[in-house]
Amino acid sequence: MCHSDQFDTAAQHELRMTSADFQDLWDKQWQQNPDSPTLSPSSSLSSSSLNAIVDGDAMAAAVEAELQQLQPLAALPKVFARLSLPKLNNVVLTAVTITGMYPKLRKMDNLRVEVQVGFDRSLVYDISAVGTSRVEVDEAAAAVDGPTETLHVHCPEKQVLLFGEVLVTLKVKQKEVGHLWFHTSFLDSHTKHLVIKKADIDKLLKDAKKGHKLFASSMHVVLAFK
């Protein structure tokens, strides 16, 4: 915030300002009338008048007056009456579908889906263990990627409740092969499916650069909600 035309004493005082002081200046600027003229950065104090001030309180008052005149910021437009975080939604996960699996890559037979709510591991669902899985041939993708399979994992009824930050991890045995994050605040009552492409899944981007060895190029994950 220091200015080139600002006296050294004022600059030093500004450097000693706390975050609360800056917040106070910000609030004053925010509440400023947009139609009011912009304050001029020219100072009413000369260097000789500053040198003549001996008392510390008087110096602080003079510097404060100097800073009040050095506010080139225009009043901010009040786009929102009140800023707030998105509403937290609770959703029920009913199924997870993973496409683009190679039938000949038998290690993917042990592919598991794990869903974690929040940043800690206090609430983790092992979807593959509590749900029912089935694999079917994906004939639509055969022309592009060759023979591929689709894994469907159906969750138990009303048991997989999600809210806030959600982490979905794909594992082969205990080794992670990819993961993705999403937030339930961006899902509304009309959102029944969330499709995540392979390029948006962490770690699987490396597989794309290596020639799609683990999953086909058309691979994606579909999360179904109720």
Confidence of residue 39 (pLDDT cuts 50, 70, 90): very low
Radius of gyration of the chain from Cα atoms? 30
Q: What is the pLDDT of residue 40?
A: 41
- Positive or negative torsion for Cα 199, 206, 114, 123: negative
Distance between CA atoms of 40 and 103, rounded to whole angstroms? 73
Token pair in block for residue 89? 């939604």
pLDDT digits (tens, 9 = 90+) for 72-123: 656 656 665 666 667 788 999 999 999 999 988 777 778 999 999 998 888 9
Distance between CA atoms of 89 and 118, rounded to whole angstroms? 13
Contact 178, 167 (CB under 8 A): no
Please indicate whether residue 131 or residue 37 has the higher confidence score (pLDDT). 131
Burial 104-131 (b: 16+ CB within 10 A, else e): eeeebeebbbbbbbeeeeeeebebbeeb
Contact 197, 212 (CB under 8 A): no
- With a CB cutoff of 8 Å and minimum separation 6, the contacts of 128 are 111, 112, 113, 114, 153
E strands, 9-67, in order: none
Confidence of residue 155 (pLDDT cuts 50, 70, 90): very high
Let me know the angle formed at the C-alpha of 65 by 62 and 67, rounded to the nearest 5 degrees.
110
Contact 194, 94 (CB under 8 A): no
Q: What is the pLDDT of residue 33?
A: 53
Token pair in block for residue 195? 């499709």
Q: What is the pLDDT of residue 94?
A: 93
pLDDT digits (tens, 9 = 90+) for 195-220: 999 999 999 988 988 899 899 998 99
Q: What is the pLDDT of residue 97?
A: 95
The number of beta carbons lying within 10 Å of the beta carbon of residue 7 is 18
Lowest-pLDDT choice from 61-75, 147-161, 176-190, 192-206: 61-75
DSSP category for residue 88: P
Rounded to 10 deg, the angle between the 56-69 and 8-15 helix axes is 90
